[in-house]
Amino acid sequence: MSTAPGPTRTAEPTRRCAVVGDPVEHSLSPVLHRAAYAALGLTDVTYDAVRVPAGGLTAHVAGLGPAWRGLSVTMPHKREALALADVRTPLAVAAGGANTLVLGPDGVRADNTDVPGAVAALRERGVTAVSRATVLGGGATAASTALALTELGVRHLTVLVRSPERAAEAVAAVRAHPSAPHVEVVATGAVPVGLEVGDVVVATIPVAGQTPDLVALLASAPVVFEVVYDPWPTPLAAAAAAAGATVVDGLDLLAHQALLQLEQFTGASVAVAVMRDAGRAALAARTAGAGTGA
């Protein structure tokens, strides 16, 4: 009888994490989290990108096994993530959506790391206090960044949006804050002459919506926070940099909010540069590949 050992089997990871969204293939989150795991020597944790169709997050989470520790949540699931959780942090409730689900034996906890991530990204660039600001867009990211500006003390906030009705939830979230600023909603098609954009401009809309008139208006701000990171630079980011503004980009936000997720998923931490540098390298590789037709 043969005593030769059988085929080696790869052990299941002790801890599993992922980003969920639809679409999700473009996400840099696996690059950032895996870079952190490598730096920390965490060989027992995996992080993947999982496509979950709209409306399917609750069923997906219910089907996950005990190895699962955390989910980074992107569009279109942030509101559903908040609703399905057993425990919701006050910040996730205030923002009206969760980008972080922590899974454990006691259930699912929903959090929002976009808000503190945006605060950290601005502070890293020297923005420690804001008096007047403008947010372009009215979706979930607009709500989170507007709350971040409120945390930094903004007293007057202008929300520029194509249709004011689209900003209703974001505006309500800001107005419910204990230190709520005065909020003015302005339609992008009816911007008054001489509108003051303030100390900081945050852009949360796709590049296609950055019309020349909007770019010319918003690029005059001392600080421009462009949440898009691909393609880069956006028209607004390019114009702001040319005007000498401080530009905070979407990868700054992604890295800072991902660092906070890492800490909740694993209990460990790294320098934010570890995650951000990995993201920049991946973006550069994408650009190079697109340029060669690869």
Q: Which residues are identified as catalytic?
A: 78
Cβ contact 264:100 at 8 Å: yes
Residue 230 DSSP one-character state:
S
Which three-class secondary structure state does DSSP give residue 293?
coil
Is residue 62 exposed (0-12), middle (13-18) or buried (19+ Cβ within 10 Å)? Answer: exposed
Q: How far is it, in rounded angstroms, from Cα 181 to Cα 133?
A: 10
CA–CA gap between residue 228 and residue 203 (Å, rounded): 8
**Parallel, antiparallel, or unpaired: how do β-strands 45-51 and 68-73 relate?**
unpaired
Query: Are 135 and 158 in contact, with CB atoms under 8 Å apart?
Result: yes
